[in-house]
Amino acid sequence: MKTLTEEQKNILLNSIRDIPDFPKPGIIFKDITTLLNNKEAYKFLMDHLEARYKDMKLDYIAGLDARGFIFGAALADRLGIGFVPIRKKGKLPSTTICEKYELEYGFDEVEIHLDAFHNNENANVLIIDDLCATGGTATAAAKLVLDAKANLVETCFLMNLKFLAGDEKVKKYSPIYSVLDI
């Protein structure tokens, strides 16, 4: 089950609620809380991700603030490996490295602890998040993992909004896998 059939993808897609005009008019927000509270759909997703990544010899999963924490920590536990949070600036308590990225109106920053991978150069890392839209956050996260001297094996998204082409930016730094292309 390293990839899903269209029927299997529909199980997941049908468990994600669309919220029109959130956070602003014209946006259709993909609400994953309905997937998370559907125990069958969530277990199906996590079983799929575990099957996909169990033989990749990963050392760490890096989850993006905040929904990437939900999938990343659970998957790291299933695989018996470490979890590393990539947070918005100012949220981590120790020495960090930081990467700025562009938003629609301005900039933001994400950071990772300098010793996130225990100074293990070439640690095999998977980045995970719920959504790839414009690719800014994921690209910044990829740069952080590489700056920390780790090997970025892949970047995984539950959903990829293909029409925004953010995945093309991320592909410059790692292969990507999206469970659902929207």
What is the number of alpha carbons within 13 Å of residue 113 lying toward its C-beta? 14
Q: Confirm whether 121 is a catalytic residue.
A: no
Which residue among the candidates 6, 7, 40, 104 is catalytic per the annotation? 104
Q: Confirm whether 99 is a catalytic residue.
A: no
Sheet holding 106-113, edge to edge: 96-103, 106-113, 82-88, 60-64, 124-132, 151-160, 176-181
Which residue among the candidates 67, 78, 109, 154 is catalytic per the annotation? 67
The CA-atom distances, in angstroms, between 144 and each of 7, 147, 163, 173, 177 are: 36, 5, 26, 11, 19
Q: Is 84 left (phi over 0), alpha (psi -120 to 50) or beta?
A: beta
The catalytic residue positions are 67, 104
